[in-house]
């Protein structure tokens, strides 16, 4: 029957299982790398913390460095005026701002914009600087339609302009407007409450400005004296957009208004020059140092921690194969990088910075790792500054982790390359091994299949391939070869059985036919009786032949229905020997063994049948007048019943097979009796059904054979208890 079962091949199964096992290697490598990365991150963070502690030591006991700003910046949009090494040239260009241009602040997003007249406010960027008591401002405005001021119109709110709000020396809020009639010099005027008209006829000449056009709108530079802003340094700025030259209506107002609806327009924070001079020489590559006072105002800042973003190399299709391989690996690892430290990406950088600063100002040095798309991964560490047992500020040190990230990328790349190379080599080895294994199995299967023809006849009695191999396939080949040998022997017996049966049945049939013919023609009563007896013997012989075959076929079913009882086998054997001496006067029967009671739970009829087979076998292989010995020995839980006879020994290659069905070693049959090789098979079946076993061995003298049957011994409860008590007492005596 053709099989329709389909499944993975042996090589595929091996490949899948071993590949899954190999995944453990890169996984453990990644875990080790992750631990090393955490260790390096902690080491860098501790180094930053020690550096900030060293800087704070220089500032400890110097409260005078933090007395310049009386107003707390809480709730305001903090506009930092960064210290400038030299004055800014007022020309509307940003080339003088290169050092601090990256500190510009964007306004116009929803959270920073109060829309007065339009749904679409303009966006502008503001950066402030301070030099020699002058505040410099650069405003870059995005405006798609620029409307200049008309000199003939007195109102100053009908064109694009910039509004400035601050608190003067007298404490009053003052308002200024910076207007442009054309690109070039701008003009500033003091304004009324409605932002419409100038309160003085003359412009405010202390505020100088200049406007230039840009691709997206315009850029304006101006400067304001610090003494004009007053002591609180309030500073507010708004950009007003007018797009229609005819109606000159205000489209939007975008300003630096404070949070929580405060009336002020922001706070200009001036960084302390003295603090800056102290920390200016302490900056190092890839780090940013800030000195922050107790009101969280930045008083000095040096260095930059802007991280160089690690970009995977572009894949060059025309490039070298190895270069393309590394590029593909980097591209594949990008997704892995996105999963690493995902908790850093879930927290706002500003929140982590504020957390570190707050802890430091509370007296606890601390550090945090954070991530932002602009800066990458950054470690921020802070240490408090103390004066007279009071915390007056903190030193914040920020540094990128580029070096560690590069090490991580290189290590991951090496792990992936090594894992892929190992996997390829392993796959190749597994494929070679599985191909060889499959070839051996197919060869063995083909030889086993060809050992039987299409009609079920055996073509050979053994296999040739793989029988000398020491592995499991060799064991399988030897097992199949042994099976074929037994089947070949059995088939030879079956093939000879018809001829044997014909011969054995023909003999009693001929005798029966002759007797019946003589019986028909004979008138003498004596002769008729003789021929009748001869006919009966022929019928009985035919019946015995049939009975032998039937007994062997139905023995196991018959044994299942037997009931066991406890009997004394020593008495049974003595009684059986008495019958044997009468039935077989041409043999000498001897008993050897125990004379005590030996109990066993058996079927006495089957034990006698077993003895019949053993004695018949001993008679067949012994000469007239020789001695046949029956014996019985017992142990604690087992008993052994054996039968020995003088005669030919068992060939060495048949010792393990004589108890199989239809196996006979009789070379001749002088008594003309039929032997199917069922006798010892019946003995084995009966012994195993009683929970025992049977073995055959040649006598050590080489003069005969002994067949031993081992059966379980039945111990009465009292005897069993006595045995257990005896063992317990012996154990106690040993103790």
pLDDT digits 0-9 by tens, 358-382: 888 888 898 888 777 666 778 888 9
Give me the pLDDT at residue 421, please.
75
At residue 70 the predicted structure's pLDDT band, cuts being 50, 70 and 90, is: very low
pLDDT for the residue numbered 466: 82
For residues 63 and 97, membership in a common domain is answered with: no
Assess whether 187 and 302 both reside in one domain: no
Which region among 170-174, 268-272, 403-407, 451-455 has the lowest average model confidence (pLDDT)? 268-272
- Per the domain annotation, does 553 fall within a domain? no
Number of domains in the chain: 3
What pLDDT sits at residue 710?
Answer: 93
Residue 724 pLDDT: 46
Confidence of residue 315 (pLDDT cuts 50, 70, 90): very low
pLDDT of 648 strictly over 80: yes
| pLDDT tens per residue, range 483-494 | 888 888 777 767
More confident: 576 or 455: 576
* Full domain range(s) for residue 104: 78-270
Domain match, 39 and 168 both: no
Q: Which of 32-46, 242-256, 627-641 is predicted with the least confidence, judged by mean pLDDT?
A: 32-46
Q: What is the pLDDT of residue 1?
A: 41
Give the lowest-confidence range in 8-17, 116-125, 462-471, 522-531.
Answer: 116-125
Query: Looking at 379, 414, 449, which one is the last position of a domain?
Result: 414
Q: Helix axis angle, 10-22 relative to 24-59, nearest 10°?
A: 10
Pairing of strands 267-270, 78-83: parallel
- Collapsed DSSP state (helix, strand, coil) of residue 698: strand
State the CATH number of the domain containing residue 672. Answer: 3.30.565.10
Q: What is the pLDDT of residue 210?
A: 93
Residue 529 lies inside a defined structural domain of this protein = no
136 and 188 fall within a common domain:
yes
Summarised one tens digit per residue, pLDDT across range 500-518 is 666 667 767 776 777 777 7
% of the chain beyond a pLDDT of 70: 70
- Of 73-87, 293-307, 466-480, the one with minimum mean pLDDT is 73-87
Q: Is the pLDDT of residue 128 over 90?
A: no
| Assigned domain for 676 exists | yes
Q: Over 80: is that where the pLDDT of 449 sits?
A: yes
Q: Are residue 148 and residue 102 in the same domain, yes or no?
A: yes
Q: Is pLDDT at 468 greater than 50 in this prediction?
A: yes
With a pLDDT cut of 90, the percent of the chain lying above it is 10
Q: Average pLDDT in the 542-553 region?
A: 66
Identify the pLDDT of residue 110: 46
Confidence class of residue 189 from pLDDT cuts 50, 70 and 90? very high
Q: With H, G, I as helix, E, B as strand and everything else as coil, classify residue 443.
A: helix
Name the least confident of 161-165, 339-343, 592-596. Answer: 339-343
Question: pLDDT grade, residue 116 (50/70/90)?
Answer: very low
Decide if pLDDT at 650 tops 70: yes
- Cβ–Cβ under 8 Å, residues 192 and 178: no
Residue 481 inside a domain? The answer is no
The closest alpha carbon to 460, from 451, 468, 469, belongs to 451
Instruction: Give the pLDDT band of residue 148 (cuts 50, 70, 90).
Output: very high
Any domain includes 671: yes
> pLDDT value at position 455?
76
pLDDT at 483: 86
Kindly list the distances between the CA atom of residue 447 and the CA atoms of 433, 471, 490, 624, 700, in Å, as whole numbers in the listed order. Answer: 21, 18, 20, 50, 42
| pLDDT band at 579; cut points 50, 70, 90 | confident
Q: List the one residue out of 78, 13, 2 whose CA is nearest residue 430.
A: 13
Model confidence at 569: pLDDT above 50: yes
214-228, 250-264, 713-727: segment of lowest average pLDDT: 713-727
Residue 629 has what pLDDT?
92
Residue 366 and residue 289 share a domain: yes
Measuring CA to CA, which residue among 121, 705, 49 is closest to residue 394? Answer: 49
Q: Is the dihedral of CA 684, 690, 693, 698 positive or negative?
A: negative
Q: What is the pLDDT of residue 653?
A: 75
**Confidence grade of residue 644 (pLDDT, cut at 50, 70, 90):** very high
For residue 192, which of 162, 235, 156 has the smallest C-alpha distance? Answer: 156
In a domain, 285, yes or no: yes
What are residue 130's DSSP bridge partners? Answer: 83, 135
**H helix runs in 200-293, sequence order:** 226-229, 273-279
CATH number of the domain residue 54 falls in: 3.30.450.20
- pLDDT range class, residue 179, cuts 50, 70, 90: very high
Tell me whether strands 599-602 and 565-568 are parallel, antiparallel or unpaired.
Answer: antiparallel
CATH number at residue 215: 2.60.40.1190
User: Are 606 and 686 within one domain?
Assistant: yes
579 Cα distance to chain centroid? 76
Q: Residues with Cβ < 8 Å from 468, sequence gap 6 or more?
A: 474
Considering the domain architecture, whether residues 85 and 206 belong to the same structural domain is answered as yes
Q: Which of 424-428, 435-439, 721-725, 730-734 has the highest mean pLDDT?
A: 435-439
pLDDT above 70 for 265: no
457 assigned to some structural domain: no
Domain-located, residue 442:
no
Return the pLDDT at 213.
Answer: 92
């Amino acid at each position: 029957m053709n099989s329709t079962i389909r499944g993975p091949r042996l090589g595929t199964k091996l490949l899948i299982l071993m590949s899954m096992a190999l995944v453990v290697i890169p996984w453990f490598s990644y875990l080790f790398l992750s631990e090393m990365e955490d260790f390096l991150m902690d080491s860098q963070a501790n180094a930053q913390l020690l550096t900030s502690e060293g800087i704070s030591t220089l500032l400890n006991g110097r409260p005078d460095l933090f007395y310049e700003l009386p107003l707390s910046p809480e709730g305001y949009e903090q506009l930092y005026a960064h210290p400038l090494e030299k004055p800014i040239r007022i020309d509307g260009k940003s080339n003088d701002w290169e050092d601090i241009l990256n500190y510009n602040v964007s306004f116009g997003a929803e959270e920073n914009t109060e829309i007065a007249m339009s749904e679409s406010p303009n966006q502008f960027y503001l950066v402030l600087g301070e030099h020699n008591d002058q505040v410099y401002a650069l405003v870059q405005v995005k405006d798609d339609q620029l409307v200049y001021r008309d000199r003939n119109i007195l109102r100053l709110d009908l064109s694009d302009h910039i509004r400035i709000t601050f608190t003067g020396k007298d404490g009053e809020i003052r308002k200024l407007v910076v207007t442009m009639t054309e690109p070039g010099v701008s003009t500033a005027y003091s304004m009324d409450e409605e932002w419409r008209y100038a309160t003085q006829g003359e412009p405010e000449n202390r505020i100088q400005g200049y406007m230039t056009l840009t691709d997206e709108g315009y850029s304006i530079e101006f400067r304001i004296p610090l003494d004009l802003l007053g002591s609180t340094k309030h500073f507010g700025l708004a950009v007003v957009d007018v797009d229609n030259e005819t109606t000159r209506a205000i489209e939007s107002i975008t300003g630096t208004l404070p949070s929580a609806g405060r009336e002020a327009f922001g706070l200009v924070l001036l960084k302390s020059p003295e603090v800056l001079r102290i920390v200016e020489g302490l900056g190092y590559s890839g780090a940013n140092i800030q000195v922050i006072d107790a009101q969280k105002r930045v008083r000095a800042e040096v260095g930059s921690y802007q991280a160089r973003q690690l970009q995977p190399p572009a894949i060059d299709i025309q490039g070298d194969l190895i270069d393309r391989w590394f590029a593909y690996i980097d591209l594949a690892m990008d997704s892995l990088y996105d999963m690493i430290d995902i908790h850093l990406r879930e927290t706002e950088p500003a929140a982590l910075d504020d957390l570190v600063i707050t802890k430091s100002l509370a007296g606890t040095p601390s550090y945090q790792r954070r991530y932002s798309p602009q800066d990458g991964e950054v470690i921020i560490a802070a240490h408090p500054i103390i004066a007279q047992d009071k915390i007056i500020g903190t030193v914040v040190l920020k540094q990128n982790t580029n070096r560690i990230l590069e090490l991580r990328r290189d290590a991951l790349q090496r792990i992936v390359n090594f894992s892929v190379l190992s996997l390829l080599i392993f796959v190749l080895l597994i494929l070679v091994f599985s191909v060889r294994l499959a070839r051996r199995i197919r060869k063995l299967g083909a030889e086993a299949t060809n050992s039987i023809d299409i009609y079920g006849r055996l073509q050979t009695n053994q296999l040739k391939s793989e029988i000398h191999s020491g592995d499991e396939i060799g064991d399988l080949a030897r097992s199949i070869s042994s099976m074929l040998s037994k089947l070949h022997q059995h088939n030879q017996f079956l093939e000879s059985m018809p001829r044997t049966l014909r011969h054995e049945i023909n003999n009693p049939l001929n005798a029966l036919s002759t007797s019946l013919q003589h019986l028909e023609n004979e008138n003498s009563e004596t002769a008729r009786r003789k021929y009748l007896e001869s006919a009966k013997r022929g019928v009985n012989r035919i019946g015995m032949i049939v009975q032998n075959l039937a007994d062997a076929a139905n023995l196991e079913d018959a044994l299942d229905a037997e009931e066991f009882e406890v009997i004394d086998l020593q008495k049974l054997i003595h009684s059986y020997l008495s019958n044997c001496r009468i039935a077989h006067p041409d043999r000498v029967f001897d008993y050897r063994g125990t004379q005590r009671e030996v109990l066993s739970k058996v079927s006495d009829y089957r034990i006698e049948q077993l003895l019949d087979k053993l004695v018949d076998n001993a008679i067949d292989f012994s000469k007239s007048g020789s001695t046949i010995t029956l014996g019985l020995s017992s142990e604690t839980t087992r008993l052994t019943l054996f039968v020995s006879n003088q005669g030919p020994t068992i060939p060495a290659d048949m010792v393990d097979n004589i108890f199989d069905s239809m196996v006979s070693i009789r070379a001749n049959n002088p008594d003309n009796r039929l032997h199917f090789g069922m006798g010892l098979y019946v003995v084995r079946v009966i012994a195993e059904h009683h929970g025992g076993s049977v073995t055959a061995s040649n006598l050590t003298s080489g003069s005969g054979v002994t067949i031993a049957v081992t059966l379980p011994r039945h111990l009465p409860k009292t005897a069993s208890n006595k045995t257990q008590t005896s063992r317990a007492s012996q154990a106690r005596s040993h103790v």
